[in-house]
Amino acid sequence: MSVVEIVRFAVRGLVANRLRSLLTMLGIIIGIAAVILLTALGNGASQYIQGQIAGLGANSITILPRQPPESAGTSGRPLTTGDVRALADPQGAPDVASVSPVAQLSASVDAGRSRTDATVVGSTPTYFPGANVQIGTGRAYTDADVEAGRKVILLGRTVADDLFGVGSDPVGRDVLVRGVPFDVIGTLAPAGQGQGLSNPDENVLAPITAVQGSLTGFGDLSQIVVQARSTEAQAAAESEINSILDRRHGIEEPDNRDYQVLSARQLADVLDDTLGAFTLLLAAIAAISLVVGGIGITNIMLVSVTERTREIGIRKALGAPPSAILGQFLVESIILSVVGGMLGVAVGYAGTLVPLGDFRPVVLPSAVVAAVAVSAAIGIFFGAYPARRAARLRPIEALRRE
Amino acid sequence: MTGRDAERSGAGPINGVEHVLDVRKLSKVYGAGETAVHALRDVDLTVRRGEYVAVIGQSGSGKSTLLNMLGCLDAPTSGRYLLEGLDVAYLDERQQAVLRNRQIGFVFQAFNLIPRTTALANVELPLVYAGVGRRVRRDRAMAALALVGLQGREDHRPNQLSGGQQQRVAVARALVTGPALLLADEPTGNLDSRSTADALALFDRLHASGRTIVLITHDDEVAARAERVVVVSDGRLSETARR
């Protein structure tokens, strides 16, 4: 008895109960479609965030002050202009391209008719490439502006829209930052949502000397922005920063550091890990629905075996060996699950064509392969018990059943 | 020509085996202890090649149990059963399936055709399990259907056929592998008088062409057509006069 005949018997058995076969498949279709769709969502989100982080500037490194743990026995030292000078030393830190001190505060910005809240970032011209900030209109402030402490300012797109109307060009106008007048010399290009630590669209940028002179005072720095020579040099630059600051701040144990080094690379790693775990969680939930679908197959196959007990008895009386009966029912459940799996892939793929918010789900080819393989395995695993029961029926008992 | 093909031709003793069936002290007990039911007690029965034997008995006499033993559908509690000289007790489940497929043709009271399946596919079924190729299978199934007078009905499904026609499909299915033994369990039990006459005429023809037939019935008229009648009563067997 050939495999072809067994498959033909199985197909005949399934076609005889079209609606039931379809409904049984539905469990697998939904399970596989969920796996495909949810992993595609996770993958799409990951790719979207990767793109956003690339926009942060792949070479950018931010140093923030940090409260050291109590075991360190010290409250730590702040970040100072002395640290900036040390980091800018090409001997000690050959992989660092530029170092920008940052004095930062939250303040209300007033344009007469309207006002808004913004983050005021005071720094030097190297901040623009260092933090990957693009100019929209007007010009960036210069080293001369910094030396002279000129009160000039660039507005983030959201701030400019709030103060002067959507799409306006406020160059040449005046704003009051905490009551101190600044000349608007430019706007920043729209950066989009959620880039890293703060949204640049809600920032206003001014020379550090002007911000310290009239707003924060000449004290400690809020942060230091460092640009590495290249993306490849980033890890080297980070370790140079650590060794210089450890020496200057008298730190022996990395755990006791009173500063923190953040980079787009680290951020990407952290987000990737988080998203990976998230995607895994989604896939696990989808896998549960697959198991439920598999149990549905077992259930229906058991019903089918009970319902066709007499037919099984006839087949045995006519000389069907146990292996032929086992094969027929096993192949039925494999067909159910594999056809269901392929339909599920199609449904899941169709689902990913619907864009969700800012990002589009991206189907993982590996998920498709795994889904089809898993559905075949489900057919074998969940079909084995009913098929064995059918094969083991005693012919005389099967024939007696009405 | 292999030995098995020779056997299938159904004519003449093979390897000195004259009896198709040789049953010695066959017993079947259902249950155990106080509640044990002795369905068959020390039954001896031999059937020669080409014989037409009717087994008659009241309902509950054990005649169906006997048929199930003879058809390898059930195992005896004790005793020996040789089919074509082969001791069935030593066969495993798969070998018994092969034996049922090659040596025995069943005709049931309830016809037992596979539903939603054409007459041709029903008749082909034993050949599928025998591993016969598609074209040969079709030819032999068509020939078997012609033998029972159902040419032209091969694409009908069981629910499109009358009871008499369904029973003839069942007979064609039983004959298609060329078995040594045709076992019929109340083959006319569900048929009207005309179909009964047709079916009995068919069995007469098969007997005339040399088939070995064991037929179970409770109807004396049906039994009267057989060459030899054995009576089962309370699990015991007794011969009546040969015709």
- When mean pLDDT is compared across A28-37, A53-62, A270-279, B72-81, the lowest value belongs to A53-62
Measure the CA–CA gap between A219 and A203, rounded to whole angstroms: 21
Measure the CA–CA gap between B109 and B188, rounded to whole angstroms: 7
Query: In angstroms, what CA-CA distances link A397 with A37, A311, A342, B68, B95?
Result: 47, 12, 38, 11, 19
With an 8 Å Cβ cutoff, are B112 and A5 in contact? Answer: no
Name the pLDDT band for B78 (thresholds 50, 70, 90): very high
Tell me how crowded residue B12 is: count the other CB atoms within 10 A of its CB: 11
Please state, rounded to an integer, the average pLDDT across all residues of chain A. 87
Structure tokens at B77: 């509690």
Would you say residue B78 lies in a domain?
Answer: no
Structure tokens at A198: 């703060």
Residue A386 near residue A304 (C-beta atoms within 8 A)? yes
Residue B231 has pLDDT above 60, yes or no: yes
Residue A223 near residue A64 (C-beta atoms within 8 A)? yes
Measure the CA–CA gap between A62 and A238, rounded to whole angstroms: 10
Percent of chain A, pLDDT > 70?
97
Residue B235 corresponds to which amino acid? G
Residue B13 has pLDDT above 70, yes or no: no
Give the β-pairing of B37-48 and B52-56: unpaired
Q: Which of B68, B94, B129 sits opposite A318 (nearest CB)?
A: B129
The pair phi, psi for residue A41, each rounded to 5°, is -60, -50
Domain of B207, CATH number, reads: 3.40.50.300
* A328 Cα to chain B: minimum distance (Å): 12
With an 8 Å Cβ cutoff, are B114 and A315 in contact? Answer: yes
Would you say residue B68 lies in a domain?
Answer: yes
Tell me how crowded residue B239 is: count the other CB atoms within 10 A of its CB: 11
With an 8 Å Cβ cutoff, are B112 and A310 in contact? Answer: yes
Collapsing DSSP to helix, strand or coil, B173 comes out as helix
Structure tokens at A95: 């992989």
First to last CA, chain A: 28
The pLDDT assigned to A19 comes to 92
Residues 6 or more apart from A94 whose CB is under 8 A from it? A240
Domain that holds residue B109: 50-73+92-239
Residue located via tokens 């596989």: A32
For residue A99, which of A126, A60, A121, A120 has the smallest C-alpha distance?
A: A126
pLDDT tens digits for range A259-274: 988 887 777 778 778 8
Would you say residue B33 lies in a domain?
Answer: no
* Length of chain B measured in residues: 243
CA of B173: which chain A residue's CA is closest?
A318
The pLDDT assigned to B44 comes to 92
- Give B-chain residues touching A313 at CB under 8 angstroms: 112
Residue B53 has pLDDT above 90, yes or no: yes
* A3 Cα to chain B: minimum distance (Å): 11
With an 8 Å Cβ cutoff, are B117 and A12 in contact? Answer: yes
Would you say residue B12 lies in a domain?
Answer: no
* A361 Cα to chain B: minimum distance (Å): 46
pLDDT, mean of residues B77-90: 90
Rg (CA), chain A: 33
- Give A-chain residues touching B98 at CB under 8 angstroms: 319, 321
Would you say residue B13 lies in a domain?
Answer: no
Measure the CA–CA gap between A312 and A320, rounded to whole angstroms: 9
Name the pLDDT band for B171 (thresholds 50, 70, 90): very high
Q: Which of B68, B115, B130 sits opposite A319 (nearest CB)?
A: B130
CA of A319: which chain B residue's CA is closest?
B101
Residue B214 has pLDDT above 50, yes or no: yes
Beta strands in A9-87 (DSSP E): 60-65
Torsion angle of the four alpha carbons A340, A342, A344, A349, in this order, in degrees rounded to the nearest 10? -170
pLDDT, mean of residues B75-100: 90
Residue A27 near residue A297 (C-beta atoms within 8 A)? yes
Query: In angstroms, what CA-CA distances link A195 with A120, A129, B147?
Result: 17, 15, 86
Collect all residues from A whose CB is shorter than 8 A from any CB in B: 1-2, 5, 12, 16, 310-311, 313-324, 394-396, 399
Q: Between A and B, how many CB-CB pairs are < 8 A?
A: 64
Residue B11 has pLDDT above 50, yes or no: no
Burial status of residue A1 (CB atoms within 10 A of its CB: 0-12, 13-18, 19 or more): buried
The pLDDT assigned to B136 comes to 94
Would you say residue B135 lies in a domain?
Answer: yes
Would you say residue B21 lies in a domain?
Answer: no
The pLDDT assigned to A109 comes to 93
Residue A63 near residue A224 (C-beta atoms within 8 A)? yes
The pLDDT assigned to B116 comes to 86
pLDDT, mean of residues A364-375: 87
The pLDDT assigned to B4 comes to 44
Q: Which of A1, A311, A316 sits opposite B114 (nearest CB)?
A: A311
- Give B-chain residues touching A311 at CB under 8 angstroms: 114-115
Would you say residue B170 lies in a domain?
Answer: yes
Residue B71 has pLDDT above 80, yes or no: yes
pLDDT tens digits for range A43-94: 888 888 777 776 666 678 889 998 888 777 777 888 998 999 999 988 888 9
The pLDDT assigned to A122 comes to 93
Rg (CA), chain B: 18
For residue B232, which of B28, B66, B29 has the smallest C-alpha distance?
A: B66
The pLDDT assigned to A397 comes to 83
Q: Which of A12, A324, A396 sits opposite B129 (nearest CB)?
A: A324
pLDDT, mean of residues B92-108: 91
CA of B124: which chain A residue's CA is closest?
A318
The pLDDT assigned to A125 comes to 93
The pLDDT assigned to A336 comes to 92
Collapsing DSSP to helix, strand or coil, A195 comes out as coil
The pLDDT assigned to B10 comes to 43
Residues 6 or more apart from A120 whose CB is under 8 A from it? A104, A105, A106, A107, A109, A177, A203, A204, A206, A211, A215
Structure tokens at B231: 């009576």
With an 8 Å Cβ cutoff, are B131 and A1 in contact? Answer: yes
Total domains in the fold of chain B: 1
* A1 Cα to chain B: minimum distance (Å): 4
**Which residues are paired to A382 by β-bridges?**
none
Measure the CA–CA gap between A184 and A66, rounded to whole angstroms: 33
* A394 Cα to chain B: minimum distance (Å): 8
